[in-house]
Amino acid sequence: QSVLTQPPSVSAAPGQKVTISCSGSSSNIGDNYVSWYQQVPGAAPKLLIYENNRRPSGIPDRFSGSKSGTSATLGITGLQTGDEADFFCGTWDSSLTAVVFGGGTKLTVL
């Protein structure tokens, strides 16, 4: 059972927009920055968003992040078939003194 809660799957058509939610508590999301990671099957995870809404160099602005209270959201616009992957949210938990992840959300681009 993951500390952070994500929907198991989301889907949308190419060109459309999708959002992935990540729900936590006051000791993790409510108190710390949220990151988002993309993992293509067979590859290592890659950082997509850090510090709630910042994109590392090379990540297109189709990817965005936001945080409100104890929840965070990843948004992806202009969906492409190449975006199909598993997406994980992560943050520090001040009570557990540990990094915690969501269970992951599988994105299907129909």
100 lines the binding site for other proteins (CB under 8 A): yes
Taking contact as CB under 8 A, which single stretch among the options 17-25, 42-50, 66-74, 75-83 is the one that binds other proteins? 42-50
Q: Under DSSP, is residue 109 helix (H, G, I), strand (E, B) or coil? A: strand
Residue 83 has φ and ψ, to the nearest 5°, of: -80, -10
Angstrom CA distances, 19 to 7, 44, 64, 95, stand at 10, 22, 9, 28
Q: Is 103 in the site for other proteins (CB under 8 A)?
A: yes
Residues that bind other proteins (CB under 8 A): 2, 32-33, 35, 37, 44-47, 50-51, 56, 88, 90-92, 96-104
